[in-house]
Structure 1
Amino acid sequence: MSREELAVVLDYGAQYTQLIARRIREKNVYCEILPHTTDAEKLKALSPGAIILSGGPQSVYAEGAPGIDPKIFELGVPVLGICYGMQLMVKELGGEVRKGDSGEYGKSVINIEQDKHSDELVPIFEGLPQKQNVWMSHRDIVESVPSGFRVAALTESSYKAAIYHPEKNFYGIQFHLEVKHTEYGEDVLDRFLFNVANFSGSWTMDSYVESMVSKIYKEAGDKKAVCGISGGVDSSVAALLVHQALGDNLTCIFVNHGLLRKNEPEEVLQTLRDEYNMKVIYVDAVDRFLNKLKGVVDPEKKRKIIGEEFIRVFEEEANKIGDIDFLVQGTIYTDVIESGTDSASVIKSHHNVGGLPEKMELSLLEPLTSLFKDEVRKVAKELKMPDELAWRHPFPGPGLAIRVLGEVNEEKLEILREADYILIDEVRKADLYNDIWQLFAVLPGVKSVGVKGDERSYEHTVAIRAVNSQDGMTADWYRFPYEVLEKISHRIVNEVQGINRVVYDITSKPPGTIEWE
C-alpha cells in the first residue's frame, strides 16, 4: 500500500468516528484514526491522500474546544469536514460560525446548489438528486464561508449544509454521511474518495495479507517467536499470519485452564496442528487453575488469579523453548483506539503486555493493530480458516469462571459446558449464529424447585445471554424467535443433569453489562 492510498480521520470525539473509518475501508481505501492533536508535520510524514475531520460534541467556540494545526490546510491534501469538522474548518479559515436559534437533530432535507461559476454540480454531489434526506446532529451553524469557498447545499431553513473550495479541494458537510439514515451518504463518500482524492480502491484483504507477511519477515527474519493461543479468532489469525512469515520459528502455546467451552481445546489444536501444520505446545493446567480458584467467589479476584496464573504457565513454557525474540499478540485496531494511543506499528520493542514479566524482554509482533474485528474475520477467510473458528463469538480471557457465578468447581463447569453447547448447537441449526454478536449460557448459582417425572427437583437455573454490538461498548439483547427459545429450553432441561429451569436475559448494555461478572 502506497502512502497516498491512506485516508486519515482526525478524531474530535464524535460517536461516529469509528463508523467513518469503517465506511472508508469498506470502499477498499485504507484509513487510520488519529487524535485531533496530530500536527501537520506528522501528517506530512504519513503522506495521506485525504484528511477527514470528524464530528464532535462541542461548539467550536466553547472553552477548551478541540482545534487543529492550521498548517494542515497548507499540505495540499483534500480535506472533508463533517459537522464539527466543517465548522472548525470555517472558523480556522476565516469564516463565521454562530449558535443557531434551534438545533437540527435527526432527519432533515437538503437541496443541492449548482455551481454558479460552472453551471455544474459540486463534485461530491455529481449525478445525485437535487433534494436529499440526510441525518443532522448540530446546533451551531455556518453564518459565512471563508474566502474562496462556495455554498454547495442548503437545508430547507436555508442553513448552509455543504460548502467547498474548488481549487483547494476542501469540502464541508453539516450532515453525517457515515450513517445509514443519510440517503446518499455512501455516494457522497464515494465521490470524495475517488473523484476528489483520486484513491484507487486497491486496499483488500489479500493485499493486506501479502504486505503484512512480507513486513513480518523483514522485521523478524529467522528469529524465534512465541504466541499464546486462546482459541479466539484474533490470536489465531495473528498466529497464522506470523506462521506464514516465520514457519517453524513460531511456537504457539495453548494453555488449557479448564475454563474453556466444550470441545474447544480439541478443535483449536486440530485446526492449527493438522490443517496448518503449526508447532503448538499444549499445556494441561486444569487442576492447577481449579486448585487456585477453590473458595474464591469475588469476580475480580477470580480474574486476577486466572490472569496471573496464565502468565506464570506461559512464562514457564516459553522459558523451556529458549532464545525467543518476539511475542505475538492478537491486538486489534479497536484496542489501539480505546487505549488512547496513536496507531501502532507492527513491532514495538520491550512492550510489557498483559502483565508479562519485563525480564522476558521480548519485542512485540502485532499484525492486526490496523484491523477492525470484521476485517480480522476477512483475513481469516483469506487464510482459509474454518468458519467455526473464524466466526467464533468473543470469549473472555477468564473463560467460564466468570459465567459460573460464585465459587468455581468442576461439577458446575461441566453443567455449564453442556448447557452452553446445546445453546450454540440449536442456534447454529436455526442458522442464527452469525446474526448474533455474542451468545452464551450463565450459571447464576440459583437453585429452584421443579418437577422431573413424578418427582420434585431442586436444581440449577441457567440463564441465556445473546446480544448484538459493534464494539462491545454498548449492546442490545437479541430477539430470538420463540420456537428457537423453546427448543433450547427443552433440550437443556432434558439433557443436562442438574438443571431444571432456563431463563433469558433481556437486559441491554447499559444499564447491564454483557457478561454477568
Structure 2
Amino acid sequence: MSDSGRPDAGSRAEAEAVVGDQPTVLVVDFGAQYAQLIARRVREANVYSEIVPHSITAAELAQRDPAAIIFSGGPKSVRVPDAPSIDPGVYDLGVPILGICYGQQLIAQQLGGEVGGGGAGEYGRTVVHRSSDVVSSILTADLPADQTVWMSHFDAVQRPPEGFVATAASEGAPCAVIESPERKIWGVQYHPEVAHTPHGQELITRFLHDLAGLPATWTMENFIDASVEAIRAQVGDGRAICGLSGGVDSAVAAALVHKAIGPQLTCVFVDTGLMRKNEGDQVVETFRRHQGMELIHVRAADRFFERLAGVTEPEDKRKAIGELFIRVFEDARGGVEDARFLVQGTLYPDVIESGTAHAATIKSHHNVGGLPEDLDFELVEPLRLLFKDEVRAVGHELGLPDEIVWRQPFPGPGLGVRIIGEVTPEMVALLQEADAIVREELRIAGLEREIWQAFAVLPDIRTVGVMGDERTYGHPVIIRAVTSEDAMTADWARIPYDVLESMASRIINEVPGVNRVAYDITSKPPGTIEWE
C-alpha cells in the first residue's frame, strides 16, 4: 500500500477474477434510496449486478459489456433543469434495459414520450391494472392482471415514446408499464424491488431470465470456488494476517482466505473486553479449535478500561478505542512480521459508499477497529463484491456455526458506545447481562433473523423505583430493535408485547442494579440505529 492509503490494484483485479465471465447487470443510480436494493434483488435471481453512477457514458458502459441495464428511481423530477440524466447513446447499445419509477420517466422523456404531473401523485400501495385493449404484455405476462404495487411518484408518463406501448395503468399513472420488445426496453412506474410489491421479484426475474436471456449462475458456491482461485493467485506463497473482530464480515473473510491458503493465514483477535457476553470465547473456540486456524488471542481488557477511565464524550471514546486497538494489533503482529497481505472484511456497500468501485482504502469504521493507513500491506478483500445477506450465505457454505453467521451487526468500539457516559468494567458487565437477555428472548420467540439489530443501551442516569417494598435508585436499560434492508434506513421493530414484557421482567429481576426498562421506538431517520 502507498503512503496515501491507496492499495495496489490487487483488490479490484481479484474482484474481476472472481466475476470472470459472469453476465453482469449494471444498475444505474439516479440518487434512489433503493439502488442497492435493486442490485440485491438482481442477485437474488442468481445474476451478478453492480451499481454505477448516472454520469457514466455510453462508451464506458459498453466497455463494461453489461448483459442488461436497470435504471433506478430517483428523488427529482425529470422535468427540472438539473435533473439527473443518462447518455442517450445508451439506448443504441442494444442491451436490454428496465427503467424503474424515475428511470421509466427518463426513458420516456429521452425517447420522445411525454412526462407530466400526475395530479396528486401516488404514494404507497396502489392497484395497477393490465390493459386489455392493447397487445399483450411481455413483461407482466405471468403476473396477475390486477396487482398491488408500491408507488412513490408525482410525475408520470402521460404518453409513451414512438414504438412503445403502455400495457398497464393505475389511477394516477396512465402508463404504469411501457414496453418496446423490438428495442429491448421496458419501464415500470412502480417499485418492484420493495417487499410491498408482492410480485415485484417475479417481474425482475422475468426481465432478467426470460427477456434478457441471462442464466442463473451467480451462486455462493460458484463464488467460493472462484474466490479461492483468485486468493491463491494473489497471495501465492506469501503470508497473510487478518484482524478478527468477532463480527460476521471478518469471520467469513478469514474462513474464505483460510480455505484458499490454509496455514499461510494468521488471525489476530484483540479482545477489548467490550464485546457481548461470551463472544470472545466463542470466537476463539470457532477459529482455533473448529476451523483449525492459527490464532493470536490478545486479552487486552485491562488496557482498554484504563484508557477509557474518565472519558465520556462519544467521539473521544471512539478515538481512544480505535487508537489503542491499533497499538495492540501492532504489538500482536510481532510474530508474523513477514506477512505482506492484510485480510479485510470489506463489503460491496463499503465500496459504494467510498464513491467509486475502485476505492478500497482502509476506513476507520471497518470491522478490525480502524487500522492505520501506513501499515505496509497489500489488501485481500474477498467479500468486496458481496452484500451482507450474501456474506452470510458464504459463511454457511464454509461451515461456520450459526452463532457466527447470523451474528447481528456490532459497532467497532463495541459496548463502549452503548454505554452512555464513562465505560467501566462494572457498567460493561451490567450491560452484557441485559443485552444477553434481549437477544435470548428474541431467539426464544423465533424473531432473531427477522430483526436487523437488537440490543440494550445503558444511559448515564439513575431512576427511582420500588423493589421489595423498598425505594431504589438504579439504572434504566433501554432496548433498541430495528428492521432494515441495509442499515441506510431503519424502522423500529414491532416486537410483540409479551416478548417485551419477558425482556423487561427478566432484566429487572436478573440484572442487579437495574430497576426500569424502556423501549426505543425511533426510526432512522430521524434517529440513528446506535445511540452514540
When normalised by structure 1's length, the TM-score is 0.92
Match of 1:504 among 508, 519, 530: 519
- Superposed CA offset, 1:31-66 (max 9, x none): 111111122233223221100011112122312211
Q: Does the alignment pair 1:98 with 2:116?
A: yes
Change (3 A) 1:67 1:284: same
Deviation at 1:113, TM superposition (A): 4.2
Q: Is the 8 A contact 2:124 2:150 kept in 1?
A: yes
User: Which amino acid is 2:115 matched to?
Assistant: V
- Superposed CA offset, 1:63-99 (max 9, x none): 2211112222222210111121122122223333334
The 1-side partners of 2:284 and 2:163 are apart by: 63
Question: Which segments of 5 or more consecutive residues in structure 2 lack a partner in the other structure?
Answer: 1-18, 365-369
Q: Secondary structure at the match of 1:56?
A: coil
Aligned to 1:479: 494
Match of 2:42 among 24, 27, 34: 24
User: Which amino acid is 1:417 matched to?
Assistant: Q
Change (3 A) 1:157 1:244: closer
- Superposed CA offset, 1:373-430 (max 9, x none): 1111111111111111111111111111112221111121122222222332333233
Aligned to 2:8: none
Q: CA RMSD in A?
A: 2.3
Deviates more, 1:192-201 or 1:81-90: 81-90
Aligned to 1:58: 76
Q: Does the alignment pair 1:35 with 2:50?
A: no
Deviation at 1:283, TM superposition (A): 0.9
Change (3 A) 1:17 1:460: same
Aligned to 2:63: 45
Change (3 A) 1:115 1:23: farther
Aligned to 1:15: 33
Match of 1:88 among 95, 102, 106: 106
Q: Is the 8 A contact 2:156 2:172 kept in 1?
A: no
The 2-side partners of 1:156 and 1:262 are apart by: 54
Aligned to 1:236: 251
Larger RCO, structures 1/2 (Cα 8 Å, 6+ apart):
2
The 2-side partners of 1:53 and 1:111 are apart by: 23
- Counterparts of 1:461-472 in structure 2, within 5 Å, are 461-472=476-487
Aligned to 1:179: 194
Q: Which runs of 4+ in 1 moved over 6 A?
A: none
Q: Secondary structure at the match of 1:72?
A: helix
Q: Is the 8 A contact 1:327 1:365 kept in 2?
A: yes
Match of 1:360 among 363, 371, 375: 375
Deviates more, 1:263-272 or 1:422-431: 422-431
Change (3 A) 1:412 1:220: same
Q: Secondary structure at the match of 1:121?
A: coil
User: Which amino acid is 1:78 matched to?
Assistant: P
Match of 2:427 among 407, 412, 435: 412
- Counterparts of 1:285-324 in structure 2, within 5 Å, are 285-324=300-339
Q: Does the alignment pair 1:208 with 2:213?
A: no
Deviation at 1:115, TM superposition (A): 9.0
Q: Does the alignment pair 1:394 with 2:409?
A: yes
The 2-side partners of 1:138 and 1:410 are apart by: 52
Aligned to 1:134: 149
Q: Secondary structure at the match of 2:516?
A: strand
Deviates more, 1:260-269 or 1:174-183: 174-183
- Counterparts of 1:194-343 in structure 2, within 5 Å, are 194-342=209-357
The 2-side partners of 1:182 and 1:492 are apart by: 39
Q: Secondary structure at the match of 2:438?
A: helix
Question: Which segments of 5 or more consecutive residues in structure 1 lack a partner in the other structure?
Answer: none
The 2-side partners of 1:490 and 1:114 are apart by: 59
Deviation at 1:302, TM superposition (A): 0.5
Q: Is the 8 A contact 2:478 2:519 kept in 1?
A: yes
When normalised by structure 2's length, the TM-score is 0.89
Q: Secondary structure at the match of 2:386?
A: coil
Change (3 A) 1:152 1:451: closer
Q: Is the 8 A contact 1:462 1:499 kept in 2?
A: yes
Q: Percent identity?
A: 54
- Superposed CA offset, 1:341-393 (max 9, x none): 2266xxx5xx4443533432211111112211111111111111111111111
Change (3 A) 1:75 1:462: same
Aligned to 1:494: 509
Deviation at 1:281, TM superposition (A): 0.6
Deviation at 1:157, TM superposition (A): 6.4
The 2-side partners of 1:157 and 1:465 are apart by: 38
Deviates more, 1:176-185 or 1:250-259: 176-185
How many pairs align? Answer: 509
Deviation at 1:319, TM superposition (A): 4.3
The 1-side partners of 2:167 and 2:353 are apart by: 35
The 2-side partners of 1:339 and 1:226 are apart by: 24
The 2-side partners of 1:143 and 1:28 are apart by: 34
